[in-house]
Structure 1
Amino acid sequence: METETTMLNTFQQADHPVLPKATADEAARQEFAKSLKGFIQSTLLPGLDPVYRTRARPRFENETGRSANDRRDIRDAMVGDTYFQHYAATNRIAQELLWESVAGSVSRQLPELIETARTLSARSPARLDIPDGFVPPRYVTALDIHCMPGGYCSEVCEDDISVGALYDRGVYLYSMGYTGPNNDDMGRSVCNYIRRNFPDFRPRRILDMGCTVGHSTVPYAEMFPDAEIWGIDLGGPCVRYAHARSAGMGHPINFAQMNAEETSFPDGHFDLVVSHILLHETSGKAMPRIFAEAHRVLAPEGLMIHADLPPFDLMDPFTQFILDNETWYNNEPFWGAMRDMDQIALAERAGFDRASVRFDTAPMAVMEFAGAQKGYSEDAAGSVADREFTAGEFAPGGGWEVLIARKGAAKALAA
């Protein structure tokens, strides 16, 4: 559960045994990369709206004889504008720079990081399953998602954890600290949501699909210490790192290299299946299979919760345009297409009762914590009252959109 001890310094990443340690020069470059992301969010991004309203939209209407109707029209109107080009180029440069600022630090320490990970994993009572001959799907290997060098699955040596270490530090810089000191804000936010909305829910087994380095998995171990918890991911280096990372943080959690489209777990094994910003990194064919697999492995009355950004039909067209820049400029080919899909219908086709499927918002735990520390009152449910948070492109509105579905109760056998 959320505690002051785990979130004392909200905007400084917390250390753990396998986190790469930066030299002074490396730390300065990393801080510059994070600060550049912040400058783009706070200074360049707000300028897009007036540029569109006063310059790009009138030009589009004059040239086409009609109004801009959707995000695609807005993109057509904006893509030739010098200000937008400056924004998009700077954003891409900042993304590449942040990975570069971390990569040297990881390479310099890789042998000792691998040895530390081996030691931690060997001492952990939790399982680590890396099957021989596992082949990840092309939607994660055909390109470096969000421009991270090597993607999630590249291995350069025995027991490699390099892309896991790169991700752990890099995603903190990418989020500008909004994922919290342990990069766990999404998992922590969903745990808080469960605590508030399902106070009597006590899952015996929990599955985190697409866990990457297990950063969002750990809060479930804190909230449900007696539960059997599994994190699965397509990347072998990621789950190796996740296993060592969680052990080093005092939370032995089971991890496996496994495809969420088709796991090896038995039917009805889990009471809670979650994912955190996974769905947009899959594909149009994979996503329905993931929903169906979640339904299969859930026990009767079990919950499926996928945390991501909202579908496009919940946003105005200009916000859609802003977020869709990830599709065009950040190696996120399924980012926009995923948000056009009818996820409620997908859940229904997977076997969930449509009446049990809904979208809701889980407020960002890190922002609630920061607000409470500044003296904002909390209501009985634990959320910050009368406070609206924003975080630019990272989490519009200061919350994670969660898709929630409950599997039906077991049917009684006929007498």
Structure 2
Amino acid sequence: MLNTFQQARHAVLPKATPQEASRQEFAKSLKQYIQHGLLPGLQPVYRGRAGKRFEREAGRAPADRHDIRKSMVPDIYFQHYAAVNRISQELLWDSVIDSIDSDPQALRAEADAASAANGGKLVVPEQFEVPRYVSALDIHCMPGGYAGEPGEQDVTLGALYDRGVFLYSMGYTGPNNDDMGRSVCNYIKRRLDGFSPKRILDMGCTVGHSTLPYKELFPEAEVWGVDVAAPQIRYAHARAGAMGLDVNFAQMNAERTEFEDGYFDLVVSHILLHETSGKAMPRIFEECHRVLAPGGYMIHADLPPFDLMDPFTQFILDNETYYNNEPFWGAMRELDQVKLAEAAGFPADTICFDTAPMAVMEFAAAQAAGYSQDAADSVADREFTAGEFAPGGGWEVLIARKAG
């Protein structure tokens, strides 16, 4: 079933003309067609001819996702799938750029006004070094990447990310792109026995999609979102203001923030780890341990490890590594995150992966409950009713608790 749900409106979301909106909807629909129309054909092609060809030539069956890739890349069906998938990714960004470029000054003015309405702090240092694993490429093929040029004072890359990610996810992360944050909030509410953090840090927050649900669920908490990309942070602060929430945002590197030891009760991230690097991940875990108070929780929501999947599923998912500028996507899934958490100082008996078999997407459950577009436009009308994790189909959480 195709998803036709629309992104919720707020003051700093780029405004599209009817023609631009139609082009954006086409880009989203094309991605849906690829997922529902082309992707299912890959396994029959592999079983029917590509895998057999590999076995004839290599004298053995494909052993892992890398062998499966070698067998599939020469096949015309896979080439068609991969090409259309990459074209659709570039098309979606182009369709959003048009609506931003039509009146960037108006977007900046609206962002300034919305940011002024946010009572939380905005911290963007004059000098900041963006790590190479972010600055060296346009992640997700997004033109300009997350961070843009050094010292850039703009918000347009944040606007591009906000709208583009909704199209990329085909709406399945909900009307506010916030399913992951809402999911972790639900996990805390249902699984952590009344845990009520007073200070919360969201690492690698980009435009704050997953940050804001923490302020909704814990309105008295001091909530911070940090990211290495200044354009994303500036936009995040404005977006929070436009949605009526006072949340702090700062340009900081999750490998080494500027916060005091033991400052936070909860440190979270949402799809951050697979966009860092093998050297950065251990430092991020160590930083989580440093800034957590005794008894505080570290929760990272990201991609499930490959060892939970069959090799063909691994191959399918690893296409992001090869064709969507996600160089750490596959490698991250092979790291032993439990050992990394232990090395960072978290007691072994507090560390676990969890893939609770509940609804994967908050928005899907909300639709079933009659969640309307009008409700999507109101922060007050949103309830934390679903949106957790499911093995194989969605996200997984790594949880650890600092010794208290």
Letter in 2 for 1:113: L
**Equivalent-residue separation in structure 2 for 1:142 and 1:126 (angstroms):** 31
Other structure's SS at 1:399 match: coil
| Conserved? CA contact 2:226–2:253, under 8 Å | yes
Selected match of 1:53 from 47, 58, 83:
47
Amino acid across the alignment from 2:258: S
- One-letter amino acid of the counterpart of residue 115, structure 1: A
Equivalence for 1:141:
135
Distance 1:48 1:341 in 2: 27
**In structure 1, what is the equivalent of residue 381 of structure 2?**
none
TM-score (norm 1): 0.90
Please say if 1:111 is aligned against 2:105.
Answer: yes
Indicate the residue corresponding to 1:368 in structure 2. 365
Alpha-carbon shift at residue 41 of structure 1 (Å): 0.4
The alignment's C-alpha RMSD in Å is 2.0
2:75 is equivalent to residue 78 of structure 1: no
CA distance in 2, matches of 1:296, 1:29: 46
Alignment CA distance shift 1:124-1:382 (3 Å): closer
State the alpha-carbon separation in 1 of the partners of residues 11 and 296 from structure 2: 35
CA contact (8 A) 2:116 2:241 kept: no
Q: 2:213 aligns with which of 209, 219, 232?
A: 219
Tell me, yes or no, if the aligned pair for 2:152 and 2:231 is still in contact at 8 Å. no
- Once residues 99 and 230 of structure 2 are traced to their aligned partners in structure 1, the CA distance between those partners, rounded to angstroms, is 21
| Cα shift at 1:123 | 3.4
Q: Check whether the contact 2:117–2:242 (CA below 8 A) recurs between aligned residues.
A: no
Secondary structure, aligned partner of 1:212 = coil
Residue 266 of structure 1: CA displacement?
Answer: 0.4
Is 1:65 matched with 2:59?
yes
List, as ranges, runs of 4+ consecutive aligned residues in structure 1 with deviation greater than 4 Å: 155-158, 371-374, 381-384, 395-398
Instruction: Find the aligned partners of 1:371 and 1:71 in 2 and give their Cα distance.
Output: 36
Q: Give the unaligned 5+ runs of structure 2.
A: 372-383
In structure 2, the partner of 1:378 is: none
SS, match of residue 132 in structure 1: coil
Conserved? CA contact 2:304–2:392, under 8 Å:
no
**8 A Cα contact 1:364 1:398, kept in partner:** no
Deviations 1:286-326 (A, max 9, x none): 11100100011011111111111101111111111001000
| Deviation for aligned residue 1:370 | 3.2
Residue 176 of structure 1 corresponds to 170
Say if 1:88 and 1:329, in contact at 8 Å, map to a contact too.
yes
Q: Which residue of 1 aligns with 2:313?
A: 319
Which of 76, 84, 87 in structure 2 is aligned with 1:90? Answer: 84
Matching residue of 1:292:
286
Look up the equivalent residue of 2:361 and give its one-letter code. Answer: M
Aligned length: 387
Q: Which residue of 2 is the match for residue 37 of structure 1? A: 31
User: Do the aligned residues in 1 keep the contact of 2:65 with 2:314 (CA within 8 Å)?
Assistant: yes
Q: For residues 21 and 108 of structure 1, what CA distance do their matches in structure 2 show?
A: 9
Deviations 1:323-356 (A, max 9, x none): 1000000001111111111111111101111111
| 1:262 maps to which of 256, 274, 283 | 256
Report the secondary structure of 1:283's partner residue. Answer: coil
Local SS of the residue matching 1:256? strand
Equivalent in the alignment of 2:147: 153
The structure 2 residue matched to 1:405, chosen from 392, 397, 400, is 400
Do residues 13 (structure 1) and 7 (structure 2) align?
yes
What's the CA shift for 1:399? 3.2
- Conserved in 1, the CA contact under 8 Å of 2:118 and 2:240? no
Contact 2:199 2:263 in 1 (8 A): yes
2:226 corresponds to 1:232? yes
Aligned to 1:206: 200
In 2, Cα distance between the equivalents of 1:166 and 1:383? 28
The structure 1 residue matched to 2:346, chosen from 349, 352, 368, is: 352
CA distance in 1, matches of 2:76, 2:352: 41
* Counterparts of 1:366 and 1:396, CA distance in 2: 18
Give the residue type in structure 2 aligned to 1:36.
Answer: L
Question: Displacement of 1:117 after TM fit?
Answer: 1.4
**Contact 1:20-1:109 at 8 Å conserved across structures:** no
For residue 110 of structure 2, what is the amino acid of its counterpart? T
SS for the counterpart of 1:405 is strand
Question: Which one is further off, 338-347 or 395-404?
Answer: 395-404
Instruction: Select between 359-368 and 272-281 the one with higher mean Cα deviation.
Output: 359-368
- For 2:273 and 2:64, the matched residues in 1 are separated by 23
Which AA in structure 1 matches 2:112?
Answer: R
TM-score, L = length of structure 2: 0.92
CA distance in 2, matches of 1:98, 1:396: 28
Which moved further from structure 2: 312-321 or 228-237?
Answer: 312-321
Q: In 2, Cα distance between the equivalents of 1:341 and 1:212?
A: 24
Aligned-partner SS, 1:294: helix
How far is 1:215 from its partner? Answer: 0.8
Spell out the pairing of 1:125-140 with structure 2 (5 A cutoff): 125-140=119-134
The residue matched to 1:331 in structure 2 has which SS?
coil
Query: Residues 157 and 27 of structure 1: is their aligned pair in 2 closer, same or farther, counting only changes over 3 Å?
Result: farther
Provide Cα deviations, 1:92-123, integer angstroms capped at 9, x if missing partner: 00000000000111122211111111122223
Residue 118 of structure 2 corresponds to residue 124 of structure 1:
yes
Question: SS of the residue aligned with 1:220?
Answer: helix
Aligned residue identity for 1:369? A
Q: CA deviation at 1:159?
A: 3.1
Name the counterpart of 2:276. Answer: 282
Identity of aligned residues (%): 68
Question: Letter of the aligned partner of 1:370 in structure 2?
Answer: Q
Give the corresponding residue for 2:377. none
1:230 alignment partner, SS class: strand
Rounded Cα–Cα distance in structure 1 between residues aligned with 2:4 and 2:198: 31
Deviation at 1:130, TM superposition (A): 0.3
